[in-house]
Chain A
Amino acid sequence: MPQEKFDPVSQLTPPAEGGLSRRTVIQTAGALGLGAGVLAFLSACGVSSSTGSTAVAGAKGGTLTLGVDATAGVFDPAFYSSLGDWMVVDSVCRGLTKITFDSNEPKPDLATGWTISDDGLTYVFSLRKNVKMHDGTIFSSADVLRSYQRQFDPKDVTLPKGASRQIASVGLNVASMTATDANTFTMVLKNKDMRLPARLSDVGGRIISAAAIEKYGADIGKHLVGSGPFSFVSATAGQQAVLAAFPGYWAGRPKIDRLVMQQVQDQSTIISSLISGDISATQFTPFSSVAQLKANKAVTVYKTPDGADAILMMDTRKESLKELEVRQAINLAIDRKAILNKAFYGAGAVPKGYCIPPSQAGYDDSLAAISVQNVAKAKALLAKVGAVGRTVKLISASDSWHVTAAQIIAQNLTDIGLVVVSESVSPASYAGRLFNPADASHELMIWERNSYVPDPDNMIGSLASPTSVYGNFLSGWGTTYPADQAAFFATALATARNTKDGPDRTAQYTKIQQKFADEVMVVAMLGNFTNPVVSSSKVKGINVAALSAHRCFMEMATVN
């Protein structure tokens, strides 16, 4: 489109020799419009203006470029800004434990091991010795203590405004933390939590250099210092983050020289960048193009498990959604098959369990009835509470499957008698809108839950916890649901958390999910899906299962 202002006054005077006539200017303006259209067309064809960083074929080392959803240029384990930014955190910092996604069992990482007291309340972590941080300091228990303090204490002065504190719920159960000595860290819990080592493997459990925290304070996200395989080099918000292989990484220098997280939001650009090699790999592959990419020898399409939940969150604090019946009606109105076919192009499954996806322990398809469409019942529920004709606001990110699902849901809700006001939001600012309950459109929110930690406690545990980010910030049910009944969830989740995987644990989670759906209903399942990982055929050694869950373990990757 023309971006220059047209001012006829300047065109009223005869043109100087060799100058522009008015006709020429108008034609140029028209051409600009045409040019904009051509640009849009080229964009649609996937021609990127970005030079990007290319995986160097045949070279030793080289650059691995991952296509990511967005980057805000802030990389802080206590502050969620985008999935891409947290992949940077994952690469720069490591935690005491890690889950490599070949199982849901946590393994030692910066801790070499841990002991648990007989009562299950005291964890003593033995820390890895002589681990270098990127700022030259040696990793110690002080770094662990300081990093967890930021996560657990909402008043920590080094927290940026709007900090999400991913593992804050772990902190609610922590009685004390002690840097026993340089290589020993002790955590005492209030209540037993068998899943603690797994929960500490979350992105929020990543350890930052204490010296860097003191140096940069709340700006640590712009100068992230960890001990991971890659060190932070530079970042440009909205464009890319550049990381370099850290020669001092305790497990050995990564095989690639540079790791670049390149923001690529345009779907056709993702496809062409993958084929051309401008992007080495991504898990943000458009669902619509998976079949096409499978036929292309330049890329590899990996088979990954359905480990993510597509959900519709409902804010119980909002007048339009205050009645349980309205929320149940919304859940019953949704056409999941249409969402699976049109938003995910079949790359997923209609939910048969509830919040726990099929790839995880605890999945139970006896819960399938929760997510079955029943328009007549939905209409009856709305009529019962006099909510027919009520206006509800629906927001979604403007990329990926969100916007398509939003339109399907909008029609579903219209069909049962609600008036839907939809808004699609830039992916870069969507999370900010979601985590702001005061946002005017914070009513119905399309979201997805990925298993950062592949454990049922991570999925249903955070949704059904009245004190979690989901219970408080997003849905508000922790404040609107009767407190005495909310206690059930805290107790039941704690019990399930401390039960070994197996039928007993599954049964406990089934009971929790059923009650959560029947009595709270702030989460309507839209589908289970996988984030389709596609890489250049020259890329080897990436942890595909982890990348599909938006975790980034690239130390073994090669681009040769």
Chain B
Amino acid sequence: MRVTQPSDSVPLSLRSLAARRFGAVSWVGFAAWIIVIAFLLLAVFGPLFIATDPLRQTPGALLPIGSPGHPLGTDNLGRDELSRLVHGARPLIGIALLSTLFAALIGTTIGLIAGYSGGWIDQLLMRTTDLVLAFPSLLLIILLVSVTGAGPFPLVTGITVAMAPSFARLVRALCAREMARDYVTSATLAGTRAPRIMLVEILPNLTGPLLVQVMTTISVAAGFSAGMSYIGLGIQPPQPDWGYMVQAAQQFIYSQPSLIILPATCTLLFVVACNFVGDDLRDRFDLRRDL
């Protein structure tokens, strides 16, 4: 008699496929991964599939959702809301990713040097990062952007400066822990040069916590990016950006709330999903057990 396995009778869902490949996935984590990936795909490829120019103004201002040729309606200048929403993903996600990348590079470098060197170099680097951490992040970013001028590049710079110390502290702590491990001692006794020990021996062992920090930082950076555009110090009009779109649509909250709700929801979804992806990564790398 042929025994049918239950798993054979139940169609495999995307989640169970993911679980087979990547291990147990919670519903929340799974949804978060899907959302983050979807937004990344939207930012990269979305504009290729939207023929409407997000900057092109038309006489049809404030058209409602479902209008012919404008599925999500138009804003007060008659610009297609769907096109602006899709194109608006790029600046926010791009700034979040770039600033996180730079913050990770700078912070990791500082942390590795501090953790590996110890002594006065460690003290100097860590007190410097403490100095930056002493400023509230948002205040620091506003200060930097105010000095350098509004726009994507000053924004990336500001967020990078504000977020790099977190990476530095994390990597320094982890590096100091790794320094006591045998493989580092062995490498040192074998005459391996310090940069190689840091980059080839130690850094790969910090990947897990770093990835968690990266995801968390992406979400925070996305929030900062949206917030700065909201207050007029980020992406400048007429370029579409979710943060600015929320700000610009405030006056239509009563007449056309979708102009606020859509970009605000996209921003929130991306930020929260990044957080939960970080959470999932933390569970996966089991950082507490690792210590």
Contact = CB atoms under 8 A, between A and B. Distances in A.
B202 to A, nearest CB: 16
Contacts of B288: 12-14
Contacts of A107: none
B246 interface: yes
Interface in A262-278: 266-268
Nearest to A289: B251
Interface string A42-53: 011110000000
Nearest to A22: B282
A381 B267 CA distance: 44
Contact of A26 (B61, B226, B260, B279): B279
A6 B209 CA distance: 13
Interface stretch (A159-167, A368-376, A400-408, A471-479): A400-408
18 contacts: A2-B220, A3-B136, A6-B217, A8-B213, A9-B169, A9-B173, A12-B209, A14-B288, A22-B279, A22-B282, A33-B272, A37-B268, A44-B249, A46-B253, A267-B250, A288-B252, A403-B237, A423-B236
Given A3-B136, A407-B238, 7 more contacts: A2-B219, A2-B223, A3-B137, A23-B279, A29-B275, A30-B219, A41-B260
B135 to A, nearest CB: 10
Interface string B235-249: 011100000001011
B209 A266 contact: no
B251 A286 contact: yes
Contacts of B61: 341-342
B230 A12 contact: no
B253 A45 contact: yes
A6 B77 contact: no
Interface in A500-539: none
B57 interface: yes
Among B136, B216, B217, B291, the most chain A Cβ lie within 10 Å of the Cβ of B216
Contact of A8 (B57, B209, B223): B209
B236 A3 contact: no
A424 interface: yes
Contacts of B55: 411
Contact of B220 (A29, A44, A46): A29
A11 to B, nearest CB: 8
A16 to B, nearest CB: 13
B223 A36 contact: yes
Given A9-B173, A34-B272, A342-B61, A407 B223 contact: no
Contacts of A289: 251
Contacts of A440: 149
B232 A426 contact: yes
Interface in B245-290: 246, 248-255, 260, 264, 267-268, 271-272, 275-276, 278-279, 282, 287-288
B8 to A, nearest CB: 35
A321 B243 CA distance: 33
A155 interface: no
B223 A33 contact: yes
A1 B282 contact: no
Contacts of A341: 61
A5 B141 CA distance: 13
A302 B247 CA distance: 28
A225 to B, nearest CB: 33
A13 to B, nearest CB: 7
B237 A268 contact: no
A33 B275 contact: yes
A9 B111 CA distance: 12
B212 interface: yes
Given A5-B166, A22-B279, A22-B282, A12 B77 contact: no
B272 A44 contact: no
Interface of B: 55-57, 61, 76-78, 133, 136-138, 149-151, 163, 165-166, 169-170, 173-174, 209, 212-213, 216-217, 219-220, 223-224, 226-227, 230, 232, 236-238, 246, 248-255, 260, 264, 267-268, 271-272, 275-276, 278-279, 282, 287-288, 291
Given A7-B170, A422-B238, A43 B57 contact: no
Contacts of B248: 403
Contacts of B169: 7, 9
Given A1-B224, A33-B219, A408-B57, A44 B260 contact: yes
Nearest to A337: B59
Given A342-B76, A410-B238, A41 B57 contact: no
Nearest to B260: A44
Contacts of B230: 40
Contacts of B254: 292
Interface string A255-299: 000000000001110000000000000000010110010000000
Nearest to B250: A44
Contacts of B287: 8, 11-12
Nearest to B61: A342
Nearest to A441: B149
Given A23-B279, A266-B250, A29 B219 contact: yes
Given A40-B230, A422-B238, A5 B133 contact: yes
A40 B216 contact: no
Interface string A203-231: 00000000000000000000000000000
Contacts of A9: 169-170, 173-174
A289 B61 CA distance: 16
Contacts of A3: 136-138
Contacts of A406: 237
B232 A268 contact: no
Contacts of A398: 232
A44 B216 CA distance: 27
A7 B171 CA distance: 11
Contacts of A34: 268, 272
Contacts of A41: 260, 264
Contacts of A404: 76-77
Nearest to B133: A5
A338 interface: yes
Contacts of B149: 423, 440
B99 to A, nearest CB: 13
A8 B216 contact: yes
Contacts of A37: 264, 267-268
Nearest to A15: B288
A19 B254 CA distance: 42
Contacts of B252: 288
For the complex of A and B, 8 pairs with smallest distance between CB atoms = A1-B223, A398-B232, A33-B271, A407-B238, A44-B250, A30-B275, A30-B272, A1-B227
B125 to A, nearest CB: 15
A267 B251 contact: yes
Contacts of A5: 133, 137, 163, 165-166, 220
A30 B173 CA distance: 25
A538 B57 CA distance: 41
- Of B216, B251, B271, B278, the most chain A CB neighbours within 10 A belong to B251
B217 to A, nearest CB: 8
Contacts of A30: 219, 271-272, 275-276
Given A268-B250, A403-B237, A36 B227 contact: yes
A427 to B, nearest CB: 10
B107 to A, nearest CB: 11
A506 B78 CA distance: 39
